[in-house]
């Protein structure tokens, strides 16, 4: 090829290279999405190829019990969160009573408390030796538990109550958004057609918000299935607790995998329900015209009732546990700090930061890959990778163990046949496995946040910047980076906080004797030493408040038609605040 012909072909060549670069994005996004999805795939694969012997053993022993307990737990938590969530949402959205502006965000506070922490605190308060029963005995002069009846907190009912108290904000958030979105017109129409406010709520507002409520409740149920700390501590036999038992106590990874695959069916059903409901939301959009919502001004007894109805969940789900933990932490911080607290805190911090950084990098790559290369295959792959967030930690942990063990065995075999040198298990039971598990579950968070952020940069903004003299580099520097900065920080924060709280995957995947704040609090609380670990629990709750603040800021600015000065807020994806 002569220089002249090369020069003539340069533009075409450049374009071909450009196309390759786009393909690079596609390929990279695809590979990362697959990597994140491997644990989910591993569990699905197990579900398809069950081992009959273990299967029959499980089916004849523990399985029916797990199914029944899990279903009752889901039903109870579902109903509880539905009532508290939609009720408080309707009150703060449509009624005016003292404190309702504060409740708008305060009702979210229990999101900051991990379920297991709430379980430890209430056990501590309500068990036989706890202050509540002691007080009752002192007041009534009872001598022992034979003299009176008191509900047992460490039970299925207790688990339902505890989970309802921290998970209802999901339903609150979604139904509140739905109520706000409803055109005031449809409510006014119902009034002109002779319905009173209560009838309007039941016959118009609630049915219209149904898809949003279904989405909220299915998120709650996914979190219910994910919970390990509470059910393990209460010895309630759900699937998640069962997976851990079968794996740890029966020492059967295959059995645990079988249970995990059944649990996955529950999750897939929930995902299906959620997707269908989300699609339904579009059809329930009543109008794009907004005006100030009518507000029913409450007075006297009604105002007091509304006030108590909104205050109670905040007190029970946040103020009581926060207060108790702060009290214990103050009393015991010297012992705690002189122990291994700093090591555990450093471990948590290190794991969470590394995961947050990686999750943001992977999420960015996937988001840009979808935007630039965006074929249907890439879209499907990134969507599938995002389902990891719905899969319970215990299931994902099993999904991580299996491929990593396979990789280790393959490496060992390779090394032995090639060099005659056994290398043993390289990755199993290492921090690598923990981080991989975290990524499989939480990349969905960063990807979702970053994709939403990127979506705010419309293609015409790119075009406008280009015609105004920006080359591709300047476009990235002057438009994308400044607009994406908020989303990147939000994504990192959400992943960080979720990693700080994570319990089931950490317990199953961590190296021997490696403790994070979450596992340490769980360990101490299980040994009835909540007081000593209160500082750790309080630290987790305090980090958990960060996304709640972000969320309430978003809520404050998200009112349609609300024109606040200053920069537009970054959207915080709802999934970002898993307890």
Q: Which stretch binds other proteins (CB under 8 A): 7-15, 115-123, 246-254, 261-269?
A: 7-15
Q: How far is the CB of 572 from other proteins (least distance, A)?
A: 17
**Which residue, 3 or 565, has its beta carbon nearer to other proteins?**
565
Q: How far is the CB of 27 from other proteins (least distance, A)?
A: 22
- Other beta carbons within 10 Å of 543: 21
Q: How far is the CB of 472 from other proteins (least distance, A)?
A: 8
Q: How far is the CB of 194 from other proteins (least distance, A)?
A: 35
**Which residue, 405 or 479, has its beta carbon nearer to other proteins?**
479
Phi, psi of 407 (to 5 degrees): -60, -45
Distances (CA, A) of 452 to 135, 295, 370, 379, 491: 52, 32, 12, 14, 11
Region 437-496 residues binding other proteins, contact defined as CB under 8 A: 456, 458, 460-461, 463-471, 474, 478-479, 482-483
Contact present, 88 and 313 (Cβ < 8 Å): yes
Q: How far is the CB of 547 from other proteins (least distance, A)?
A: 22
Contact present, 245 and 200 (Cβ < 8 Å): no
**Which residue, 137 or 371, has its beta carbon nearer to other proteins?**
371
Give the up-direction half-sphere exposure of residue 296: CA atoms within 13 A in the CB hemisphere: 18
**Which residue, 7 or 34, has its beta carbon nearer to other proteins?**
7
* Alpha-carbon dihedral sign for residues 399, 400, 403, 405: negative
Q: How far is the CB of 435 from other proteins (least distance, A)?
A: 33
DSSP helix/strand/coil, 129: coil
**Which residue, 141 or 566, has its beta carbon nearer to other proteins?**
566
Contact pattern for other proteins over residues 208 through 247, marking x by CB under 8 A: ----------------------------------------
Contact present, 531 and 332 (Cβ < 8 Å): yes
Q: What is the largest CA-CA distance in the chain?
A: 105
**Which residue, 207 or 471, has its beta carbon nearer to other proteins?**
471
Region 545-574 residues binding other proteins, contact defined as CB under 8 A: 563-568
Contact present, 238 and 73 (Cβ < 8 Å): yes
* Alpha-carbon dihedral sign for residues 91, 93, 99, 103: positive
Q: Which two tokens stand for residue 245?
A: 């038992």
Using CB under 8 A as the binding rule, whether residue 407 contacts other proteins is answered as no
* Binding residues with other proteins: total (CB under 8 A): 27
Contact present, 413 and 56 (Cβ < 8 Å): no
**Which residue, 60 or 467, has its beta carbon nearer to other proteins?**
467
Q: How far is the CB of 445 from other proteins (least distance, A)?
A: 23
Q: How far is the CB of 288 from other proteins (least distance, A)?
A: 14
Residues 6 or more apart whose CB falls under 8 angstroms from that of 264 comprise: 43, 44, 47, 391, 395
**Which residue, 39 or 486, has its beta carbon nearer to other proteins?**
486
Give the up-direction half-sphere exposure of residue 388: CA atoms within 13 A in the CB hemisphere: 34
- List interacting residues with other proteins (CB under 8 A): 11-12, 15, 456, 458, 460-461, 463-471, 474, 478-479, 482-483, 563-568
């Amino acid at each position: 090829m002569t220089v002249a012909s090369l020069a003539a072909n340069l533009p075409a060549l450049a374009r071909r290279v450009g196309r390759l670069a786009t393909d690079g994005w596609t390929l990279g996004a695809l590979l990362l999405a697959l990597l994140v999805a491997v644990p989910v795939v591993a569990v699905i694969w197990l579900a398809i190829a069950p081992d009959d012997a273990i299967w029959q053993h499980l089916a004849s022993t523990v399985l029916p019990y797990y199914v029944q307990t899990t279903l009752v737990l889901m039903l109870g938590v579902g109903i509880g969160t539905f009532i508290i969530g939609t009720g408080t949402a309707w009150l703060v959205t449509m009624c005016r009573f003292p404190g309702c502006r504060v409740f708008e965000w305060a009702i979210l506070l229990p999101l900051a408390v991990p379920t297991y922490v709430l379980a430890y605190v209430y056990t501590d308060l309500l068990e036989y030796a706890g202050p509540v029963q002691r007080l009752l005995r002192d007041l009534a002069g009872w001598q022992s538990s034979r003299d009176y009846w008191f509900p047992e907190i460490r039970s299925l009912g207790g688990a339902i109550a505890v989970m309802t108290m921290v998970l209802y904000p999901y339903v609150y958030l979604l139904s509140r958004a739905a109520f706000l979105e409803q055109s005031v017109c449809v409510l006014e129409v119902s009034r002109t057609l002779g319905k009173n406010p209560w009838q309007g709520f039941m016959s118009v507002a609630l049915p219209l918000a149904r898809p949003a409520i279904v989405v909220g409740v299915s998120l709650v149920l996914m979190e219910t299935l994910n919970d390990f700390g509470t059910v393990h501590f209460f010895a309630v036999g759900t699937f998640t607790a069962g997976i851990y038992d079968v794996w740890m106590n029966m020492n059967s990874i295959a059995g645990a995998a079988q249970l995990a695959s059944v649990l996955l069916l529950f999750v897939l059903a929930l995902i299906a329900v959620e997707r269908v409901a989300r699609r339904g939301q579009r059809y329930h959009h009543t109008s794009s015209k907004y005006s100030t919502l009518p507000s029913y001004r409450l007075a006297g007894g009604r105002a007091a009732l509304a006030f108590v109805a909104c205050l109670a969940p905040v007190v029970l789900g946040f103020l009581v546990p926060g207060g108790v933990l702060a009290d214990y932490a103050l009393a015991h911080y010297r012992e705690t700090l002189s122990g291994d607290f700093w090591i555990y805190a450093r471990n948590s911090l290190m794991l969470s930061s590394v995961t947050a950084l990686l999750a943001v990098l992977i999420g960015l790559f996937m988001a840009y890959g979808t935007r630039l290369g965006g074929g249907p295959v890439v879209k499907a792959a990134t969507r599938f990778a995002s389902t990891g967030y719905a899969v319970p930690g215990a299931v994902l942990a099993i999904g991580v163990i299996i491929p990593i063990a396979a990789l280790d065995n393959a490496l060992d075999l390779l090394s032995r046949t090639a060099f005659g040198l056994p290398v043993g298990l390289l990755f199993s039971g290492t921090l690598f496995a923990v981080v991989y598990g975290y990524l499989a579950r939480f990349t969905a968070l960063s990807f979702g946040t970053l994709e939403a952020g990127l979506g705010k940069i419309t293609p015409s903004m790119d075009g406008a910047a280009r015609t105004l003299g920006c080359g591709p580099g300047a476009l990235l520097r002057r438009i994308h980076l400044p607009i994406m900065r908020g989303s990147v920080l939000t994504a990192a924060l959400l992943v960080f906080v979720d990693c700080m709280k994570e319990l089931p995957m950490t317990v199953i995947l961590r190296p021997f004797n490696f403790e994070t704040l979450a596992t340490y609090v769980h360990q101490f609380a299980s040994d009835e030493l909540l007081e000593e670990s209160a500082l750790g629990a309080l630290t987790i709750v305090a980090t958990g408040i960060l996304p709640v603040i972000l969320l309430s800021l978003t809520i404050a600015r998200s009112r349609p038609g609300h024109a606040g000065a200053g920069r537009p807020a970054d959207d915080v994806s709802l999934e970002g605040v898993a307890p």
